[in-house]
Structure 1
Amino acid sequence: MYDTAQQQLVTLRDCLRFAVSRFGEAELFYGHGTDNAFDEAAYLLLSALKLPIDQLDPFLDARLLDDERATLIEAIRRRAEDRVPVAYLTHEAWLGEYKFFVDERTIVPRSFIAELLFNDAFQPWIEHPELINRALDLCTGSGCLAILLADHFPSAEVDAVDLSPDALDVAEINVGNYNLGERIDLIDGDLFEGLAGETYDLIVSNPPYVDAPSMDELPAEYRHEPEMALGSGEDGLDITRRIIEQATTFLNPQGVLVVEIGHNRDVLEAQYPALPFVWMETSSGDGFVFLLTREMLEEGGY
């Protein structure tokens, strides 16, 4: 079928129709930026052709060069047959208007913490962004949240930590693309290890949080992402517990901790009944990201 497509498809419209058909036939899982076959196909084709991703109509009837057609058909095949996430095919991912380089060395950027930053939702706990002088991004991956922190808090020096040297190589590319090398320090380490004596006004983390049963049932698309960036023990909270139990030492007075935990709210609250978690409102509800101040942590015994 793909060989036939190479011979018979002529325009971008042809390739779009072909892609939607193949994606529907393959019953793909959509969880890396789109939620349906048409949007997935349109984004993949426009990005692969280096066209504006929000302007499909002007290009639909444009005839494709042979090399362009071959590139698109191979990308369609890899998405439909190999279940490779689009971000790994195009080497780009978006959080709002921010574009990041990405490949298989790190997970595809996605985080409710980015959404909260875009909506200034850290208020009233952080009323004056210009007073945030030091921030920390744990499990930085591609560096996307560290970059958003640096942009949102213009006075902040940002430390960005990850256990994966490969992920940090990707983060270095993104930090360089945003010319933030003088403000973001990329650190190879395991959470707070290597940060002795450092303190921060804000600590954020989108750590691995998938529990063991869910890891066993992940769609094929997620199998292309680094396993160490997804799973976190039997209940998905191994890393989150370490962050909670060590964060006080690294927070300044009135310092703020913000952590994303997936669908683990009930389990987390049951384990830490003394902690007054503030659950942040996101587009998918209030069960995915918590906020604690240093004082809240201390009151809870940490």
Structure 2
Amino acid sequence: MKSDQAAVLSELHTLRDFIRWTLSEFNRHQVFFGHGHSEAWDEASQLVLNAVDLPWDTNPAVLDARLTQSEKERVLSFVSQRVHARKPLPYITGEAWFMGLPFTVDERVLIPRSPIAQLIDTAFEPWLRPGPVGRILDLCTGSGCIGIACAYAFEEAEVDLADISADALEVARQNIDRHMLADRVRACQGDLFDAVQGTTYDLIVSNPPYVDADDLAQMPAEYHHEPSLALGSGPDGLDITRRILRQAADHLNPEGLLVVEVGNSEVHLMQSMPELPLIWVELEQGGNGVFVITAEELRAHADLL
């Protein structure tokens, strides 16, 4: 291994050289891409550029620039973490992007990738009632990316980021400060709605743990770096989602809306609650398992929950 590293350090010189070599290492070790990039070339480029403190949109003319010895060694360190430890790139760099916004991440939180971004981009139309939005809850917030993105989309709203994990909320607070939103966004610790007792919302958005036991056992190694608390939720992946459905109406204003992502566990939810009038959102940019339901419908069908 040391001889291979020595050859790389002595024979490769430019950013382009190292991006190509990184791409080969990805292919050689069959790494899995599921945390921000679907293309090996894109991730190889970002890894190398980040290792030498260059932004992802660096002018391509720079790719023929030569690296210093310390920069080469840093690239090798990043690649080793990615291909041997199977660590997702955002955990190596400490940063992930969601809806064009940068977020601080580490292994205390999931890496942002929710298709709920597509709904935020359209301000949850046509499901959210017209008019001003006063208060939003991001339940099971993790890094805070969904709630913070909502704060950008609804500039008049106050946003609560709730999570049971104190470690996750430390990261969320870093992101609140990073985006300078402390005047409108707060972090609240507790088990689901225990974190926000006595508060009601126009909009509740949640990307809770929803991976069922079978899927959890078969996930690629990269996912095992993410907190297990934020992934699994019982045999069918719906333990937490059922609790959210039972309790959400008490925390929604009369015309409020609940939005939840359950991923592949949507099949289990459809089978277990076929009469509940969930609206499954068609996601034009890909993804699945996001439903919406109004406060009115939740109250009308409380007997099903």
Scaled by the length of structure 1, the TM-score of the pair is: 0.95
Q: CA, structure 1 residues 278+285, in 2 after alignment: closer, same or farther (shift >3 Å)?
A: farther
Corresponding residue for 2:90? 87
- Structure 1 unaligned spans of 5+: none
Secondary structure of 2:109 counterpart: coil
Q: Mean Cα displacement is larger for which, 148-157 or 253-262?
A: 148-157
Secondary structure of 2:127 counterpart: coil
Corresponding residue for 2:22? 19
Q: Which amino acid aligns with 1:37?
A: A
Tell me, in whole angstroms, the C-alpha distance in 2 between the residues paired with 1:143 and 1:91: 15
Q: Is the 8 A contact 2:142 2:169 kept in 1?
A: yes
The yes-or-no answer on 1:157 pairing with 2:148 is no
Tell me, in whole angstroms, the C-alpha distance in 2 between the residues paired with 1:217 and 1:168: 28
Residue 126 of structure 1 deviates from its aligned partner by 2.2
Tell me, in whole angstroms, the C-alpha distance in 1 between the residues paired with 2:203 and 2:129: 12
Scaled by the length of structure 2, the TM-score of the pair is: 0.94
Tell me, in whole angstroms, the C-alpha distance in 2 between the residues paired with 1:267 and 1:256: 22
Residue 194 of structure 1 deviates from its aligned partner by 3.5
Q: Which amino acid aligns with 2:128?
A: I
Tell me, in whole angstroms, the C-alpha distance in 2 between the residues paired with 1:108 and 1:286: 16
The yes-or-no answer on 1:63 pairing with 2:66 is yes
Q: CA RMSD in A?
A: 1.5
Q: Is the 8 A contact 2:142 2:172 kept in 1?
A: yes
Residue 49 of structure 1 deviates from its aligned partner by 2.2
Q: Which amino acid aligns with 1:238?
A: D
The yes-or-no answer on 1:115 pairing with 2:105 is no
Q: Mean Cα displacement is larger for which, 146-155 or 279-288?
A: 279-288
- Structure 2 unaligned spans of 5+: none
Residue 56 of structure 1 deviates from its aligned partner by 5.6
Corresponding residue for 1:43? 46
Tell me, in whole angstroms, the C-alpha distance in 1 between the residues paired with 2:286 and 2:9: 44
Q: CA, structure 1 residues 154+214, in 2 after alignment: closer, same or farther (shift >3 Å)?
A: same
Corresponding residue for 1:207? 208
Residue 189 of structure 1 deviates from its aligned partner by 0.7
Residue 113 of structure 1 deviates from its aligned partner by 0.9
Aligned length: 300
Tell me, in whole angstroms, the C-alpha distance in 2 between the residues paired with 1:76 and 1:283: 33
Secondary structure of 1:51 counterpart: coil
Q: Is the 8 A contact 2:37 2:43 kept in 1?
A: yes
Tell me, in whole angstroms, the C-alpha distance in 2 between the residues paired with 1:251 and 1:148: 20
The yes-or-no answer on 1:282 pairing with 2:283 is yes
Secondary structure of 2:180 counterpart: coil
Tell me, in whole angstroms, the C-alpha distance in 1 between the residues paired with 2:195 and 2:161: 12
Tell me, in whole angstroms, the C-alpha distance in 1 between the residues paired with 2:139 and 2:99: 21
Q: Is the 8 A contact 1:275 1:299 kept in 2?
A: no
